[in-house]
Amino acid sequence: MFRSPMFRSPAMRRSPPKKKIEQHFEKLDPDVLDFIQEQVRLGISTNDAYEKFCRVHTDKIIKYTVFNCWYYRQLVASQPDLDQSETDKNDSGDREIKTELIVKSELESYETQNLEPEMKQLMDMPNEIIVKMIAELDWEDRFTLQKVCRTLRSLVTNQPIRLSKLFFQVFETHAKLKFNNQSVDYHEAFNGLLVVSGNKYKHLERIDDWRVALNDLIVTLQLPKLVVKKLFFEFNFFLSRSKRERVVETTGAATKLLSRRAHVRYLSVLIQNQEEILTILPYLEPGVLESIEIRHFDKDNYIDFDQIVELDQWKQARNLWADSIDCHVSHLKHFSKIQVTLPFVTVQDIIELKDALSTSDRFKSCRLSLFPTVDIEKLQLEMGQGTQKDFVIEYGVSHVSFRKI
């Protein structure tokens, strides 16, 4: 297997060629040579001699390898029997050959200790630096980075993240995610999907737009340190029936796989039926979720809330804004602020709700939009109007309001 020289072990490194040794024996400044000869006579070690040389001859600095070669050349010249075996002592071979061998050994030792530094990789950086780099990425790049390796996925997912707004919208031919003011659009394209984030484009083959957007939403919601102030969750009104059914079914299956309940304070949904809100509401953290806003495409019809009102997310929320919903007023008594349209309500129901809210410590205001089935004049006679202690009742053409003062 091929290995780059920077990854070779010391044993694998080749000995320096003769030419490399000879280049250190080029003509040397006489003052430098005299200095080296003096250090050899005094028995000073190579390292100490070089340090002293650098201090004394600041205008004639040479590389350590050059200094080292000349030092050992002078050392051999001053000690004919240096490093010779018994056989060598009786041999009258050329001293230059022996000098070359010693210098060669010294060069090998020096280069082994001073290998070129390996090229640094991203993961060689301290985690603190990588986290700061991640914080500068847009959301599409973060989704990509999480797929690189476990370490990067851990660094991305464990950052504290606060979003003021998170949008998830599905249309007939595209889907959209929006993180604060940064949008990621998923458009149907030829034989695949075009993902657009700012001025960046990415083409994915044979993938549905809303599935990729949904996957990115799930990845975001399960971030362990994510807090979302407002989550907007919408299935567009103009979705074809077949696509709406597929989207709702797949979304419901995907949210069930969330590893944690998402910390969302305000949920706003645009839906057609109860099943659509049930794809997201049960997977938000009860108690953290403070406000629920339910917008309905067809306000002349109503949404059955029999399953929703049994959820802890509903029971622990404080504020409610909703279009036509079918639920008994007893399921509204715990809210602080209420603004709803009730299609099936009686005068007695409204009086029951008013009595409960007037004694609630958390209650602040309530506005009930009433269908013509309620006689406003009869309601006024039964319930009264104006200020009753610290509780105000007001009537309109088709609504009644309560508030505390």
Q: Give the integer Cα–Cα distance in Å for 204 and 161.
A: 28
**Using N-to-C axis directions, what is the helix angle for 64-78 and 30-42, rounded to 10°?**
60
**Quick check: is 32 in a domain?**
yes
Q: Is residue 136 part of a domain?
A: no
Q: Which of the listed residues 287, 322, 357 is the one where a domain comes to its end?
A: 322
Over 80: is that where the pLDDT of 157 sits? no
pLDDT at 109: 54
Show the domain range for 47: 5-113
- Do residues 317 and 170 both lie within one domain? yes
* Res 355: pLDDT: 87
For residue 153, the model assigns a pLDDT of 74
Residue 308 lies in a domain: yes
In a domain? residue 341: yes
Does one domain contain both 266 and 304?
yes
Whether 363 shows a pLDDT value over 80: the answer reads yes
Query: Do 170 and 69 belong together in one domain?
Result: no
Domain boundary among 83, 113, 143: 113
Over residues 30-74, the pLDDT tens digits come to 888 888 888 888 888 888 888 888 878 777 777 777 787 788 778
Shared domain for 97 and 236, answered yes or no, is no
**CATH, residue 392:** 3.30.110
11 pLDDT above the threshold of 50:
no
pLDDT given at position 292: 96
Same domain, 208 and 269: yes
- Are 262 and 383 members of one domain? no
pLDDT band at 102 (very low <50, low <70, confident <90, very high): low
Confidence of residue 308 (pLDDT cuts 50, 70, 90): very high
Give the span between the Cα atoms of 272 and 384, in whole angstroms: 36
CA distances from 392 to 124, 388, 400 (A): 66, 6, 11
Same structural domain for residues 198 and 261?
yes
Model confidence pLDDT, tens digit, residues 175-188 = 888 888 888 888 77
In a domain? residue 127: no
**Burial class of residue 251 in the structure, from the number of CB atoms within 10 Å of its CB (0-12 exposed, 13-18 middle, 19+ buried):** buried
Is it the case that residue 382 has pLDDT exceeding 60? yes
Q: Does 176 map to a domain?
A: yes
What is the number of structural domains in the chain?
A: 3
Selected residue with higher pLDDT from 223 and 91: 223
The model's confidence at residue 272, banded by pLDDT at 50, 70 and 90, is: confident
Q: Give the pLDDT confidence score for residue 314 in this predicted structure.
A: 96
Residue 140 lies inside a defined structural domain of this protein: no
- Residues contacting residue 14 through CB under 8 Å, at least 6 positions apart: none
**Per-residue confidence band for 86, with pLDDT thresholds at 50, 70 and 90:** very low
Specify whether 199 is located in the same domain as 294: yes
Do 288 and 199 belong to one domain? yes
- Residue 135 domain flag: no
Same domain, 307 and 364: no
Instruction: Tell me: do 285 and 353 sit in the same domain.
Output: no
| Of 300 and 93, the one with more pLDDT | 300
Q: Which of 264, 288, 322 is the last residue of a domain?
A: 322
Please check the confidence at residue 12 and state whether its pLDDT lies above 50.
Answer: no
Task: Answer yes or no: do 216 and 304 share one domain.
Answer: yes
pLDDT at 10: 43
